[in-house]
């Protein structure tokens, strides 16, 4: 191996190993199952394997030694090998799972009937969710601020269906059936009889709490109230209602018709039957549901964004340039996008907001947003959506 190749491999280890370490801690504390952690990163980020499988493929002892060396060099607690990793190495194990794990889990069942669905919002995520439900055979009432926005949702879905027809994946008859299931309205009162409402409006806590209070007034008893928030506390939304046991998170990934993952997020008050129904419903939608609790970042963002933030810090420090970092992780761990490419796809403003939430939640200095990330956002270089981010797309 050349000196340059060895250097980029070490750089990759230094960026990826803390992500793997964080995943081990997440698993050890029981926040999410091994299967759900791995599935979340595979289906949410397109990674070839999940982080816990990646640790085992690398070798537990080698992962422990690499992390220990990184910790010795940095003194950062995030680099200290997770206690579970250390324990499994000392036990001579080759897997992270305990011997009594791996029992089959029953498939979730619908404990509440879901035939009609409401969606609040007309943005990209909301429109995608409307399309997902309608294509799965559900009647969908969607709420927007104006007829123009409602018409835009229908036009976007029609265009998506036309693309599928052109590729031989659908028919004009199927298109007519899907569009026939859509009802666009400007008033929330039309949600009175739906079985499930999915909220996909602005990522603003005050706006969302007002909505949930209103949904509590409008929706029938027995209706599930779901939010697709990626960063705000679902518990706070639930508390604005008289039925917190019926409130749950359904974090779809963008674009919703394409991305397979849904993080199903429960609060301490969420009913187990509501949780099971939501997971079963995801299966009916052709999605992969993973379960987790209500805290900042859920699974994917909590694991992904500290790694992206560390990548920015590596460039800040002068250790490597952006092109080298992007190329290194794609070459050495076969990730579909380099960290700076991914930041630009997500949106640097969104990435900064999520990193701030993680820093506030976990209160670790290592999670403080990189100054360079704050700078590109301040300069309006938000990524692909503005044609400039860390890279230039003009």
Please indicate, yes or no, whether residues 238 and 157 belong to a single structural domain of this protein. yes
The whole-number average pLDDT for the span 172-198 is 98
Q: Which of 293, 323, 351 corresponds to the end of one domain? A: 293
Asked if 120 and 211 count as a contact pair (C-beta separation under 8 A), the reply is yes
The whole-number average pLDDT for the span 325-332 is 93
Q: What is the DSSP string of 13-49?
A: HHHHHHHHHHHHHHHHTTSS-HHHHHHHHHHHH--SS
Q: Which of 293, 323, 342 corresponds to the end of one domain? A: 293
The total domain count for the chain is 2
H or E element, residue 119: strand 116-120
Q: Is residue 330 part of a domain?
A: yes
Instruction: Report the alpha-carbon distance of residue 222 to residue 233 in Å, rounded.
Output: 22
Residue 104: half-sphere exposure toward Cβ, Cα within 13 Å = 2
Catalytic residue numbers, as ranges: 230, 251, 263, 301
Q: How high is the pLDDT of residue 7?
A: 75
Residue 96 has pLDDT above 50, yes or no: yes
Please indicate, yes or no, whether residues 195 and 270 belong to a single structural domain of this protein. yes
Instruction: Report the alpha-carbon distance of residue 119 to residue 123 in Å, rounded.
Output: 11
Q: Both ends of the chain: CA-CA distance in Å?
A: 37
- Lateral strand order in the sheet of 224-227: 182-185, 139-143, 116-120, 196-199, 224-227, 247-252, 261-266, 288-293
75: which 2 tokens? Answer: 């003194």
Q: Is residue 268 part of a domain?
A: yes
Q: Is residue 368 part of a domain?
A: yes
Instruction: Report the alpha-carbon distance of residue 37 to residue 303 in Å, rounded.
Output: 9
Please indicate, yes or no, whether residues 142 and 237 belong to a single structural domain of this protein. yes
Q: How high is the pLDDT of residue 179?
A: 98
CATH code at position 171: 3.40.50.720
Q: Is residue 107 part of a domain?
A: no
Please indicate, yes or no, whether residues 330 and 360 belong to a single structural domain of this protein. yes
Please indicate, yes or no, whether residues 338 and 281 belong to a single structural domain of this protein. no
Residue 367: half-sphere exposure toward Cβ, Cα within 13 Å = 23
Domain span at 198: 116-293
Please indicate, yes or no, whether residues 354 and 231 belong to a single structural domain of this protein. no
Please indicate, yes or no, whether residues 129 and 29 belong to a single structural domain of this protein. no
Residue 394: half-sphere exposure toward Cβ, Cα within 13 Å = 4
Residue pLDDT, tens place only, 251-262:
999 899 999 999
Q: Is residue 279 part of a domain?
A: yes
CATH code at position 35: 1.10.1040.50
Q: Which of 293, 325, 341 corresponds to the end of one domain? A: 293
* Reported pTM: 0.94
Q: How high is the pLDDT of residue 3?
A: 47
Please indicate, yes or no, whether residues 310 and 240 belong to a single structural domain of this protein. no
3-state secondary structure of 116: strand
Asked if 289 and 264 count as a contact pair (C-beta separation under 8 A), the reply is yes
The conformational region for residue 92 under phi > 0 = left, psi -120 to 50 = alpha, else beta, is: left
Q: Are strands 224-227 and 182-185 parallel, antiparallel or unpaired?
A: unpaired
Instruction: Report the alpha-carbon distance of residue 265 to residue 257 in Å, rounded.
Output: 20
Please indicate, yes or no, whether residues 38 and 175 belong to a single structural domain of this protein. no
Q: Is residue 184 part of a domain?
A: yes
Please indicate, yes or no, whether residues 349 and 273 belong to a single structural domain of this protein. no
Residue pLDDT, tens place only, 287-327:
999 999 999 999 999 999 999 999 999 999 999 999 999 99
Q: How high is the pLDDT of residue 101?
A: 59
Tracing tokens 């509440």 back to the chain, one arrives at 112
Please indicate, yes or no, whether residues 127 and 243 belong to a single structural domain of this protein. yes
Partners of residue 140 on adjacent β-strands: 117, 182
Residues composing the chain: 394
Residue pLDDT, tens place only, 1-55:
454 656 788 999 999 999 999 999 999 999 999 999 999 999 999 999 999 999 9
Q: How high is the pLDDT of residue 211?
A: 98
Asked if 224 and 194 count as a contact pair (C-beta separation under 8 A), the reply is no
Residue 380 has pLDDT above 80, yes or no: yes
Q: How high is the pLDDT of residue 102?
A: 56
Q: How high is the pLDDT of residue 273?
A: 98
Residue pLDDT, tens place only, 334-376:
999 999 999 999 999 999 999 999 999 999 999 999 999 999 9
Q: How high is the pLDDT of residue 152?
A: 97
Residue pLDDT, tens place only, 197-237:
999 999 899 999 999 999 999 999 999 999 999 889 999 99
């Amino acid at each position: 191996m050349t000196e340059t190749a060895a250097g980029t491999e070490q750089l990759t280890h230094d960026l990826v190993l803390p992500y793997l370490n964080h995943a081990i801690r997440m698993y050890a504390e029981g926040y999410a199952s091994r299967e759900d952690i791995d599935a979340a990163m595979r289906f949410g980020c397109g990674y070839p394997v999940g982080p816990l499988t990646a640790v085992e493929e690398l070798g537990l002892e080698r992962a422990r030694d690499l992390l220990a060396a990184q910790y010795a060099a940095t003194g950062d607690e995030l680099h200290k090998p997770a206690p579970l990793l250390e324990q499994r190495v000392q036990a001579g194990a080759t897997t992270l799972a305990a011997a009594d794990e791996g029992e089959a889990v029953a498939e979730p069942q619908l404990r509440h009937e879901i035939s009609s669905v409401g969606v609040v919002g007309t943005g990209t995520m909301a429109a995608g969710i409307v399309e997902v439900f309608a294509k799965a055979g559900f009647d969908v009432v969607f709420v927007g601020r104006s007829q123009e926005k409602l018409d835009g949702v229908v036009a976007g879905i029609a265009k998506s269906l036309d693309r599928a027809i052109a590729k031989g994946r659908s028919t004009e008859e199927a298109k007519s059936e899907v569009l026939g299931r859509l009802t666009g309205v400007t008033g929330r009162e039309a949600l009175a009889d739906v079985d499930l409402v999915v909220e996909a409006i602005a990522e603003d806590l005050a706006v969302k709490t007002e909505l949930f209070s209103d949904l509590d007034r409008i929706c029938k008893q027995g209706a599930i109230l779901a939010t697709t928030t990626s960063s705000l506390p679902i518990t706070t939304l639930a508390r604005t209602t008289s039925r917190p046991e019926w409130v749950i998170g359904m974090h779809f990934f963008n674009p919703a018709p394409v991305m397979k993952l849904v993080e199903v997020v429960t609060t301490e008050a969420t009913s187990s039957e509501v949780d099971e129904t939501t997971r079963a419903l995801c299966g009916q939608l052709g999605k992969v549901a993973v379960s987790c609790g209500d805290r900042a970042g859920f699974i994917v963002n909590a694991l992904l964004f500290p790694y992206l933030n560390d990548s920015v810090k590596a460039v800040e420090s002068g250790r490597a340039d952006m092109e080298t970092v992007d190329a290194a992780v794609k070459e050495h761990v076969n990730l579909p996008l380099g960290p700076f490419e991914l930041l630009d796809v997500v949106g640097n403003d969104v990435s900064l907001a999520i990193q701030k939430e993680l820093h506030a939640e976990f209160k670790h200095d290592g999670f403080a947003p990189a100054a360079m990330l704050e700078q590109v956002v301040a300069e309006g270089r938000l990524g692909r959506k503005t044609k400039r981010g860390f890279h230039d797309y003009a």
